[in-house]
Amino acid sequence: VCIHRVRSCSSIRFIKSKYVCVFDKSALKFSHQQRLFRTSAVSCGQIVQFKLSDIGEGITEVTVKEWYIKEGDSVSQFDSICEVQSDKASVTITSRYDGIIRKLHYSIDDIAFVGKPLVDIEIDASKGVASEEDVVETPPMSHEEHTHQEIKGHKTLATPAVRRLAMENNIKLSEVVGTGKDNRILKEDILNYLAKQTGAILPPSPKAEIVPPQRRAEAVPAAPKDKARKIPVPVPRPIAFAGKDKTEPVTGFQKAMVKTMSAALKIPHFGYSDEIDLTQLVQLREELKPLAEMRGVKLSFMPFFIKAASLGLLQYPILNASLDENCQNVTYKASHNIGVAMDTEQGLIVPNVKNVQVCSVFDIAVELNRLQSLGSAGQLGTSDLTGGTFTLSNIGTIGGTYAKPVILPPEVAIGALGKIQVLPRFNSKGEVVKARIMNVSWSADHRIIDGATMARFSNLWKSYLENPASMLLDLK
Amino acid sequence: MVLQSLKNCLWLPCVLRTPKACFWSTASGGLIIQSVSNDVYQNLAVEDWIHDHMDLEKQQVLFFWRNSPAVVIGRHQNPWQECNLKLLRQKNIKLARRRSGGGTVYHDLGNINLTFFTTRKKYERMENLKLVVKALKAMRPQLDVHVTDRYDILLDRKYKISGTAAKLGRTSAYHHCTLLCNADKFVLSSVLKSPFKGLKSNATPSVPALVKNLFEEDPSLTSEMLLDAIAKEYAMQHQIDHHITLINPADETLLPGIRNKTQELQTWEWVYGKTPKFSISTCLNMVYKDSVLDVKVNMDVKHGRIEVCNIDLPEQWLPPGLYSELVKSLTGSKFCPNETTTLVTTLLRLCPQGDELHSRWRLLCENMIRLM
């Protein structure tokens, strides 16, 4: 393969470049390694030592703080290689070449010296070598930085990065109109050319040169219906889709969730769902909301749902229990610590309101406000997140009607509340009226809870909410 | 001084490096801008944006900005080492990591930030600081201010009123510095003191210094006056009009891509995750029932995540299965109180029930979380 390369290389003449493509024996050794890293068929390269260029202000040494690449990575010209620091200045060192990183001369926290090699880069020989001048500050397009390539006697000026872009998209540089200095072909010119060919919207380059994405208005020239004129239809160039799969390890909180949910599914769940008419509750809340606001508290529906659940648990304490590991003993918990599922940036967390059995609806509202503000600030404490005995998940605030919630061990029951919808229903007189309907889906541990218990609990909870005045009778 | 809203002008100098005519080339040499926002992340994003997108060959830029209370650490620093994170969270003071090097500073509205943007070739910190000193002296000749060789500005040869940091890229560079006019020194000294013990790291340490506000020296001075004086001096040196243009860092049409930059600066991965590798070796003093337990903890943290974790508990204090579960879960997890809290409370669900066990678990975990 290497020999083939030599033949094709010899047809390219380098003008004004100070270095001629040299194939030494060591390059041949790398040929088999290239295949692993490169997508193109190149096999021979030249190792160039990229030296740390002048930082300015007479600085001779810097500390290497972070590497952005590792040995074996491909780099393009202008890609960031590493971050070094010198006396309160943080400097981003970028690559002068396209190629593969072969060696890092320093580790993190080492002192690096200006003028000494920083990394070794293996350059694709056919692309030529840029001159050994310092990267620093010549006016943007200096002649020395580019290789001139003669293709069919037509001189085209372009940087190696632009060349690569053209090659990847099968574009002949001779066909592209250069808008840069000396008719130099710029990256925008390639993008424009591509867009005209495909009529596609190309994503703006990541270094955000302010080139607005080409609009769809540039349609591909259609094949003329007139068959007499044989105008060839341009072959649509494949758009390079740069998306790649991303694999990340499961860590921290996610790892814990994996464990908990795996344990939860060992519990034999059964589900029970029902529909609740909240028309009266909606009205009640409207009346009470301003009163709560005067006391500085936001009143949602949850405090009512939670209190009603607690009243129900007084009648059906098995739902507020816990089964031990060997299923030998059931512990009936005295406190009703009702958990409220909360969606945060991290994911699902379930803080709980302690001792609902002795709290008023207002107390619950206050506590919910506190938990919600802590939750969104990411400052919930361990006591807020432990000790729960029963959980309600108000998924309806996001959406949905019916759900199949998963019980959170060591609890034995959970309820998922759907959204409140306005639906037509028949009243006792047989008339169609507007009703506020919410669906609830319960899941319970079938090892110690049977369907009848769940149904009766649900009916009781439902009756409290459909007729809020009845809650007054049983409030403790 | 004329303040001009930028909406009236086309922001063409942002068109990168193409040889198109710069709209501002008539006012070439320099541009003075001021941010209308007090959000530290937005303002840092503007710096990034100018650094990445503007062609500074034709004109240099001076950028004025102020922030609501925030602690800003340098690119390669360790927030646990540099400030009191608990206090920050309590007082709702933001934490930001900038892209330039240097040490940690406290910003509030009593502090002005100045950023000098130039090409990499024209990067020259001393000149910039001398400009500031010249402006100050022109306004108040009796002020004893001078620039040290550490690029600090000292008042009365003793008090630091300005600190410096810089960022160099391939073709452009910026040098920014603070200027203490009327900052809250009490909050400053309390947040910049870290209670952390047993932290070993190669992160850039800050050099603490005595500070003083210019306002204390001369109560007639205000931030606006200082800003104006510096702008005047800059305008004179660059031979441009003494105009300060206001910019809104939230304006995506003016600064395309700024929203992404602002977002990135706020991610945990940037603020905490960019901390150089460090290790912790400390002792938890846990009060359990009637005794005090000394529990040695050793942790290695890389990219803000716990790489290695060792907790030296008394034998059988926690069931071994549970202990290994804890260590396994902590490994790879963020060194973050919130993450750890949710992690340990979730794991607790898998514990066999028992108040004794639960209270021990809670005690240990709460102590661990307090470290973060």
- The SS3 assignment for A412 reads coil
Concerning whether A450 is annotated as a catalytic residue, the answer is: yes
- The SS3 assignment for B89 reads helix
Bigger pLDDT: A144 vs B157: B157
CA distance B145 to B155: 5
| Residue whose entry in the numeric block shows the structure tokens 């049409």 | B253
| Residue whose entry in the numeric block shows the structure tokens 């041949």 | A28
**Which bin fits A358, alpha (ψ -120 to 50), beta or left (φ > 0)?**
alpha
Fold of the CATH domain B29-272 = BirA Bifunctional Protein; domain 2 (3.30.930)
| Residue whose entry in the numeric block shows the structure tokens 């807020």 | A384
Biggest alpha carbon–alpha carbon distance for chain A: 98
Per-residue confidence (pLDDT) for residue A183, from 0 to 100: 65
| Residue whose entry in the numeric block shows the structure tokens 């900005």 | B65
Give the CB-side neighbour count of residue A469, counting CA atoms within 13 A: 3
- The residue extents of the domains of chain B are 29-272, 278-371
CA distance A356 to A310: 6
A304 — pLDDT class (breaks 50, 70, 90): very high
Per-residue confidence (pLDDT) for residue B242, from 0 to 100: 84
Q: What share of chain A is helix, strand, coil (3-state, %, to 5)?
A: 30, 25, 45
Is the per-residue pLDDT at A207 higher than 60?
A: no
The 10s digit of each residue's pLDDT in A390-423 is 999 998 888 888 889 999 989 999 999 999 999 9
**Side chain identity, residue A127:** K
Q: Name every chain B residue with its beta carbon within 8 A of the beta carbon of A349.
A: 342
Per-residue confidence (pLDDT) for residue B12, from 0 to 100: 39
A125 — pLDDT class (breaks 50, 70, 90): low
Q: Tell me the CA distances in angstroms from A138 to A15, A144, B15, B361, one per residue in order.
A: 20, 10, 19, 63
The 10s digit of each residue's pLDDT in A414-433 is 999 999 999 999 988 999 99
Q: Same CATH fold, B278-371 and B29-272?
A: no
CA distance A108 to A87: 16
Side-by-side strand order, sheet with A80-86: A111-113, A61-67, A80-86, A89-94, B164-168, B172-180, B111-119, B59-65, B29-35, B243-247, B2-5
Per-residue confidence (pLDDT) for residue A292, from 0 to 100: 92
Q: Name every chain B residue with its beta carbon within 8 A of the beta carbon of A86.
A: 101
Do B352 and A180 count as a contact with CB atoms less than 8 A apart?
A: no
Q: Tell me the CA distances in angstroms from A171 to A192, A222, A384, B39, B271, one per residue in order.
A: 12, 21, 62, 46, 42
DSSP secondary structure of A10-46: HTSPPBS-S------HHHHHTHHHHHHH-SSS---EE
What is the pTM assigned to this prediction? 0.73
Lowest mean pLDDT among A134-138, A311-315, B197-201: A134-138
What are the residues whose beta carbons fall under 8 Å from the beta carbon of B95, sequence distance 6 or more? Answer: B70, B71, B73, B79, B83, B85, B88, B271
Bigger pLDDT: A16 vs A47: A47
Is the per-residue pLDDT at A53 higher than 80?
A: yes
Q: What is the CA radius of gyration of chain A?
A: 35
Share of chain A above pLDDT 70, in %: 70
Q: How many residues does chain A have?
A: 476
Does A383 reach chain B within 8 Å, measured CB to CB?
Answer: yes
DSSP B122: T
Strand pairing partners for A415? A392, A442
| Residue whose entry in the numeric block shows the structure tokens 């620091």 | A85
Q: What is the CA radius of gyration of chain B?
A: 24
Is the Cβ–Cβ distance between B146 and B248 less than 8 Å? Answer: no
Side-by-side strand order, sheet with A45-51: A45-51, A117-124, A99-104, A74-75
Q: Which two tokens stand for residue A125?
A: 């020989």
Concerning whether A446 is annotated as a catalytic residue, the answer is: yes
Task: Assess whether the previous peptide bond of B13 is cis (omega < 30° from 0).
Answer: no
Per-residue confidence (pLDDT) for residue A197, from 0 to 100: 60
Do B53 and A410 count as a contact with CB atoms less than 8 A apart?
A: no
Residue A16 buriedness (CB in 10 A; 0-12 / 13-18 / 19+): exposed
Q: Which of B46, B40, B165 is nearest to B94 (CA)?
A: B40
Q: How many residues does chain B have?
A: 372
Distance of CA B3 to the CA centre of its chain: 28
User: To the nearest whole angstrom, how far is the Cα of B92 from the nearest Cα of chain A?
Assistant: 10
Q: Which two tokens stand for residue B328?
A: 């396994």
Does A55 reach chain B within 8 Å, measured CB to CB?
Answer: yes
Is the Cβ–Cβ distance between A90 and B99 less than 8 Å? Answer: yes
The 10s digit of each residue's pLDDT in A58-99 is 788 899 999 998 888 888 888 889 999 988 889 999 888 888
**Which bin fits B92, alpha (ψ -120 to 50), beta or left (φ > 0)?**
left
- Say which CATH architecture domain A269-473 belongs to: 2-Layer Sandwich (3.30)
CA distance A21 to A9: 8
Do A380 and B349 count as a contact with CB atoms less than 8 A apart?
A: no
The correct CATH number of A160-196 out of 4.10.320.10, 3.50.50.60, 1.10.10.10, 3.10.20.310 is: 4.10.320.10
pLDDT, mean of residues A279-288: 94
Q: Tell me the CA distances in angstroms from A208 to A204, A213, B49, B248, B295, one per residue in order.
A: 6, 11, 10, 19, 52
- The SS3 assignment for B41 reads helix
**Side chain identity, residue B183:** A
- The SS3 assignment for A170 reads coil
Per-residue confidence (pLDDT) for residue A32, from 0 to 100: 44
Note the ipTM here.
0.81
Residues 334-353 of A with CB under 8 A from B: 346, 349
Residue B65 buriedness (CB in 10 A; 0-12 / 13-18 / 19+): buried
User: To the nearest whole angstrom, how far is the Cα of B194 from the nearest Cα of chain A?
Assistant: 20
Q: A46-123 in CATH: which number?
A: 2.40.50.100
CA distance B26 to B12: 13
What are the residues whose beta carbons fall under 8 Å from the beta carbon of B296, sequence distance 6 or more? Answer: B281, B282, B283, B284, B310, B311, B312
Is the Cβ–Cβ distance between A59 and B126 less than 8 Å? Answer: no
DSSP secondary structure of A421-465: EEEEEE-TTS-EEEEEEEEEEEEEETTT--HHHHHHHHHHHHHHH
In chain A, whose CA is at the least distance from the CA of B166?
A89
Per-residue confidence (pLDDT) for residue A145, from 0 to 100: 36
Q: Which of B301, B200, B256 is nearest to A209 (CA)?
A: B256
Q: Same CATH fold, A269-473 and A46-123?
A: no
Q: Which of A82, A8, A80, A78 is nearest to A43 (CA)?
A: A8
Q: Name every chain B residue with its beta carbon within 8 A of the beta carbon of A108.
A: 202, 276-277
**Which bin fits A378, alpha (ψ -120 to 50), beta or left (φ > 0)?**
left
What's the CA angle centered on B272, arms B270 and B276, to 5 degrees? 95
Q: Name every chain B residue with its beta carbon within 8 A of the beta carbon of A183.
A: none
Q: Best interface-test mutation with B: which of A80, A84, A253 has the largest number of B CBs within 10 A?
A: A253
Per-residue confidence (pLDDT) for residue B163, from 0 to 100: 92
Q: Best interface-test mutation with B: which of A95, A346, A382 has the largest number of B CBs within 10 A?
A: A382
Q: B278-371 in CATH: which number?
A: 3.30.390.50
User: To the nearest whole angstrom, how far is the Cα of A364 from the nearest Cα of chain B?
Assistant: 22
Does A11 reach chain B within 8 Å, measured CB to CB?
Answer: no
Active-site residue, selected from the candidate residues A24, A110, A450, A474:
A450
Do A251 and B332 count as a contact with CB atoms less than 8 A apart?
A: yes
The 10s digit of each residue's pLDDT in A458-472 is 999 999 999 999 988
CA distance A462 to A440: 9
User: To the nearest whole angstrom, how far is the Cα of A164 from the nearest Cα of chain B?
Assistant: 20
CA distance A111 to B9: 47
- The pLDDT profile of chain B, 372 residues, written as one tens digit per residue, is 444 444 444 443 443 332 223 333 344 678 899 999 999 999 999 999 999 988 888 889 999 999 999 999 999 999 999 999 999 988 989 999 999 988 999 999 999 999 999 998 888 899 999 999 999 999 889 889 999 988 999 999 999 999 999 999 888 999 999 999 999 999 999 999 888 888 888 888 888 888 999 898 888 888 888 999 999 999 998 888 888 889 999 988 989 999 999 999 999 999 999 999 999 998 888 888 888 888 889 999 999 999 999 988 888 888 888 888 888 888 989 999 988 988 888 888 887 777 788 888 888 888 888 888
**Side chain identity, residue B343:** L
CA distance A75 to A106: 18
Q: Which of B271, B140, B322, B75 is nearest to A85 (CA)?
A: B75
Q: Which two tokens stand for residue B249?
A: 């860092």
Per-residue confidence (pLDDT) for residue A286, from 0 to 100: 94
Q: Which of B341, B94, B345 is nearest to A379 (CA)?
A: B341
Residues 207-236 of A with CB under 8 A from B: 207-210
Q: Name every chain A residue with its beta carbon within 8 A of the beta carbon of B344.
A: 256, 382
What are the residues whose beta carbons fall under 8 Å from the beta carbon of A45, sequence distance 6 or more? Answer: A27, A30, A34, A99, A100, A122, A123, A124, A125
Helix B355-371 and helix B320-330: axis angle, to 10°? 30
Q: Which two tokens stand for residue B285?
A: 């003093």
CA distance A82 to A95: 9
Do A251 and B14 count as a contact with CB atoms less than 8 A apart?
A: no
- The residue extents of the domains of chain A are 46-123, 160-196, 269-473
